[in-house]
Amino acid sequence: RPLKRLARAARELSLGADAPPEVEGGGSEVVEVGRAFNAMRERISRYLTERSQLFSAISHDLRTPITRLRLRVELLEDEQLQHKFGRDLDELELLVKGALQCVKDTDIHENIEPIDLNQVLDCLVEPYLASARVTVQGRALAAYPGKPLALKRCIGNLIDNALKYGERAHLRIIDSATGFVLQVDDEGPGVPEQRQEEVFEPHVRLAGQQQGYGLGLGIARNIAHSHGGEVSLRNLREGGLRVTLSLPRSAGQRVNVTGR
């Protein structure tokens, strides 16, 4: 029983829940593991708090001089010069927002709650159904406990990348007692196998493209990791790239899935 409590607390902590300190009980080995878990939980909590404060400070410190420069640019009499400075400031602000988003927005402070993934997908693909740029096959069998906005951003980024670099997005849902899987296939040139891990890094550029897969895939993978899942890539034999989002279901969830 103490080990089951510890395993449950570890799962809740991995999902970002504010798990209370674990009661240390049981045999001597279990007590030692419980103490180590509580110490780890405290260090992680302190690290996350300090990280949040750091990014807030960085955001403030960088945006303040940008705002000040914009005010000074508006005072310039030369409209052409004003336009050039304004364009550079827009680019700088975009880079700042992108860098902060890459490390901060992947860890949204949300409560874990049951998510209707079918509703999330319907909302994301609805604007593209009329043009047939997005197709959907399959449905989720049950709600998934996670962070709603984070998972919506994760799936939205995968769809956006497929449309941006592969013209179309073909979604396939495979849900089972053990996990939820979403495959997103595009009709683009794919990604060389030796460079597939690189596209998860911020601002990576592939040959022949003006920009890489941007921040989207990296953010999606970080969100998947925070839910105990994964995002992986595979080139399709018939052409195009398949991006797979895998989210595991715990033992408690499996009962709900198989019970439907």
The tens digit of pLDDT for each residue in 175-211 reads 999 999 999 999 988 888 888 888 887 656 564 554 4
Beta pairing, strands 134-137 & 169-175: parallel
Q: Which CATH number fits domain 1-105: 3.20.20.70, 1.10.287.130, 2.60.120.10, 1.10.3470.10?
A: 1.10.287.130
pLDDT tens-digit map of 24-82: 666 788 888 888 888 888 888 777 777 766 676 676 677 778 888 888 888 888 888 88
Phi, psi of 234 (to 5 degrees): -155, 130
pTM of the entire predicted model: 0.62
pLDDT tens-digit map of 229-243: 999 999 999 889 999
CATH architecture of the domain with residue range 113-258: 2-Layer Sandwich (3.30)
Distance (Å, rounded) from C-alpha 65 to C-alpha 48?
A: 27
Q: First vs last Cα of the chain: how many Å apart? A: 29
Distance (Å, rounded) from C-alpha 47 to C-alpha 51?
A: 6
Sequence spans of domains, the chain: 1-105, 113-258
